[in-house]
Chain A
Amino acid sequence: MIDKNTEIAFNTQVAADTYVMGLKAPEVVAAASPGQFVMIRVGSALEPLLRRPFSIGGTLQGELLLILYKVIGRGTALMAKAEKGDHMAVLGPLGRGFSQPRPGKRPILAAGGIGIAPLIFLAQTLTASKPLFLAGYRQAAEKVPFDTFGLTDENLLVATDDGSLGHHGFITDLLETQIDQTEKTSAIVYACGPAPMLKKVAALTISSQTPCQMSLEANMACGLGACQGCAVKSSTPDRLTYYLVCKDGPIFPARAIDWETL
């Protein structure tokens, strides 16, 4: 885990309200694995006070840490205004990442909106197993260009809520078709996106007995397991009813989570 004030190499808008920030953080890059996250302090003022958790959205040239983010609140609005040469305090890499697929497994990456960030990093490391990438957006203007991350659209299927690009509907429609087409035991699903999407993905993969790893998000203050703020309910009534997204996750098997409460 590294705690460092890092320099911004670039901060570019790549789609509607969507930016990629490249941070010069070779030590973090060297330690990072897909699915892990970093806590970023946006600015140095007391407002907004807390660091924000971001999935690591990939790496470039072994030294640039990529943060793919969407402007949704005060913190991300400030981030969007940051310029090359400015600094951001970064703490990470944090949490448990994705498990790599066993040989012979066919990875399917299912993303909803900006939830694509950790899956892009995963795709960067899975090129050999030719993963199928399913990316859902509200509209075509939100589509994240893969070339920014050294990836191609070759195995990419897109769905949009308004039908402006690809399949008109939800990403889970595409996933359902793909799971049907794939022999149950040969596919492994990696998913990240809004809660309603993840619930559907959990239902699909659990009923078809397809292994599935999910990246979850939660309000968190520290990212280290100290504040205990980022609790999610576990599906098993064990001694500790809650997992911490920061420490026990952010990657969880779909069946570990109590989806009723999420």
Chain B
Amino acid sequence: MSITKPDLSVTLGPLKLKNPLMTSSGTFGYGQEYSELFDLNLLGGIVVKGLSVNPKTGNPPPRIVETSCGMLNAIGLANIGLKAFVEKIAPWLAELTTKVVVNIYGHTIDDYRAVAEGLKGIDAVSALEVNISCPNVECGGMVFGTDPAIAAQVTKEVLKKADKPVIVKLSPNVTDIREMAKAVEGAGAHVISLINAPTGMAVDIRTRRPKLANVSGGLTGPAIRPIALHMVHQVVRTVKIPVIGIGGIMNYQDALEFLIVGARAVQVGTANFVNPRTALNIVEDLERYCIENGIASINDIIGTLDLPPWK
């Protein structure tokens, strides 16, 4: 029997998406920036830019630089702050039928708690994604996302305040990402997303200055995809909670790699800059792929990685 309308919907614990395509935090603004170009409701979800309690102006320029098959950024999490988000952005987002996820961050555990608390009862928001890649001022600037115990603590505190599913976004800048995944799963996280950006650097050989004013920044784009895929593979084999794969996805073949490895959804990031319709193109291409290959549900692909030894 031929498939005419494959089922692309996926379930990530308490979070149901009409398809596995999301846009990643910091690459899609608040969605408004892209809404003129296509219907956002055709996506599984959008993750809006990192939100903190207070507005943040961000780092001095230059903030971004192009590198081989990728880019470095040190934006400094510039954002309008919780109050302006709730008053000005949330009402617009409430009109969308796609799932809206708010990425939250802080420099203290209290910061995280306050954002989670402030988003309570905001129906426009379907889930929180906790960014644990920023420096923890209470622990001498150590990054939350590199210490399993602190990552677990942040997760627990956000869960106490949140009335929505909690996704924890893992940093790749660790020795063993499985330890981080186990810690946040143990703390009760509903979903894990990975990877955030590996730290990188570029130098202008003429001026002998770093190309970013912040000296280092997060490397994103297709350059990081194999690293991301490997880490997603490690994590899906370590935890039982659902995983969202992120890192350099440019097209449906890239997305399929993550799904085959076991991610239940994927986020498209830097590719939004290259072609704003990338995530939507991938939805359409996945549908066509399923039809052409007689696949009734995208779930029939997820986690089907065939590992050696092969018969």
On A, residues with C-beta under 8 Å from B are 1, 3, 41, 46-51, 89, 91, 218-222, 224-233, 239-242, 261
The reply on B303 being an interface residue by CB < 8 A is no
Chain B residue at minimum C-beta to C-beta distance from A262: B61
Instruction: Give chain B residues whose Cβ lies under 8 Å from the Cβ of A46.
Output: 69, 221-222, 250
Q: How far is the CB of B228 from chain A (nearest CB, A)?
A: 15
- Asked whether B62 lies within 8 Å of A51 as measured between CB atoms, the reply is no
Q: Once bound together, how far apart are the Cα atoms of A241 and B58, in whole Å? A: 9
- Asked whether A219 lies within 8 Å of B65 as measured between CB atoms, the reply is yes
Q: Beyond the given A224-B276, A227-B73, A230-B64, could you list 15 further A-B residue pairs with CB under 8 A, ordered by the A residue number?
A: A46-B69, A48-B66, A51-B274, A219-B65, A222-B276, A226-B27, A226-B29, A226-B34, A226-B273, A227-B26, A227-B75, A228-B75, A229-B75, A230-B61, A231-B61
Q: How far is the CB of B30 from chain A (nearest CB, A)?
A: 9
The reply on B55 being an interface residue by CB < 8 A is yes
Instruction: Give chain B residues whose Cβ lies under 8 Å from the Cβ of A229.
Output: 63-64, 73, 75
- The listed residue with most B CB atoms (<10 A of its CB), out of A49, A219, A230, is A49
Chain A residue at minimum C-beta to C-beta distance from B75: A228
Q: How far is the CB of B265 from chain A (nearest CB, A)?
A: 20
Instruction: Give chain B residues whose Cβ lies under 8 Å from the Cβ of A232.
Output: 61
The reply on B277 being an interface residue by CB < 8 A is yes
Given A228-B63, A240-B55, A242-B58: A50 touches B75 (CB 8 Å cut-off): no
Q: How far is the CB of A185 from chain B (nearest CB, A)?
A: 34
Interface residues on B, range: 35 or more
The reply on B199 being an interface residue by CB < 8 A is no
On B, residues with C-beta under 8 Å from A are 26-29, 33-34, 36-37, 49, 55, 57-66, 68-71, 73, 75, 78, 221-222, 250, 270, 272-277
Q: Give 21 CB contacts A-B under 8 Å.
A: A3-B37, A3-B277, A47-B69, A49-B270, A49-B274, A50-B273, A51-B273, A51-B274, A91-B276, A219-B61, A226-B33, A226-B272, A227-B27, A227-B64, A228-B58, A228-B63, A228-B75, A229-B75, A230-B61, A230-B63, A242-B58
Q: How far is the CB of B46 from chain A (nearest CB, A)?
A: 11
Tell me which of B27, B68, B275 contacts A47 (CB under 8 A).
B68
Given A41-B275, A50-B274: A219 touches B68 (CB 8 Å cut-off): no
- The listed residue with most A CB atoms (<10 A of its CB), out of B57, B59, B221, is B57
Instruction: Give chain A residues whose Cβ lies under 8 Å from the Cβ of B27.
Output: 222, 226-227
Q: How far is the CB of B85 from chain A (nearest CB, A)?
A: 14
Q: Once bound together, how far apart are the Cα atoms of A50 and B60, in whole Å? A: 21
Instruction: Give chain A residues whose Cβ lies under 8 Å from the Cβ of B64.
Output: 219-221, 227, 229-230
Q: Once bound together, how far apart are the Cα atoms of A37 and B75, in whole Å? A: 22
- Asked whether A240 lies within 8 Å of B33 as measured between CB atoms, the reply is no
Q: Once bound together, how far apart are the Cα atoms of A225 and B270, in whole Å? A: 14
- The listed residue with most B CB atoms (<10 A of its CB), out of A3, A47, A219, A220, is A219
- Asked whether B33 lies within 8 Å of A224 as measured between CB atoms, the reply is yes
Given A49-B222, A218-B61, A242-B58: A224 touches B29 (CB 8 Å cut-off): yes
Q: Once bound together, how far apart are the Cα atoms of A219 and B78, in whole Å? A: 16
Q: How far is the CB of B55 from chain A (nearest CB, A)?
A: 7
Q: Once bound together, how far apart are the Cα atoms of A222 and B59, in whole Å? A: 18
Instruction: Give chain B residues whose Cβ lies under 8 Å from the Cβ of A41.
Output: 274-275
Q: Once bound together, how far apart are the Cα atoms of A89 and B34, in whole Å? A: 16
Q: Once bound together, how far apart are the Cα atoms of A51 and B274, in whole Å? A: 6
Instruction: Give chain B residues whose Cβ lies under 8 Å from the Cβ of A50.
Output: 66, 71, 273-274
- Asked whether B276 lies within 8 Å of A3 as measured between CB atoms, the reply is yes
Instruction: Give chain B residues whose Cβ lies under 8 Å from the Cβ of A230.
Output: 61, 63-64
Q: Once bound together, how far apart are the Cα atoms of A233 and B57, in whole Å? A: 10
- Asked whether A231 lies within 8 Å of B33 as measured between CB atoms, the reply is no
Tell me which of B63, B272, B277 contacts A222 (CB under 8 A).
B272
Q: How far is the CB of B285 from chain A (nearest CB, A)?
A: 15
Q: Once bound together, how far apart are the Cα atoms of A252 and B152, in whole Å? A: 46
Instruction: Give chain A residues whose Cβ lies under 8 Å from the Cβ of B34.
Output: 224, 226
Query: Closest 7 interchain pairs by CB?
Result: A229-B64, A226-B29, A221-B273, A224-B33, A241-B57, A222-B273, A226-B33
Q: Once bound together, how far apart are the Cα atoms of A240 and B84, in whole Å? A: 13
- Asked whether A226 lies within 8 Å of B71 as measured between CB atoms, the reply is no
- Asked whether B33 lies within 8 Å of A225 as measured between CB atoms, the reply is yes
Instruction: Give chain B residues whose Cβ lies under 8 Å from the Cβ of A51.
Output: 273-274
Instruction: Give chain A residues whose Cβ lies under 8 Å from the Cβ of B26.
Output: 227-228
- The listed residue with most A CB atoms (<10 A of its CB), out of B37, B61, B272, is B61
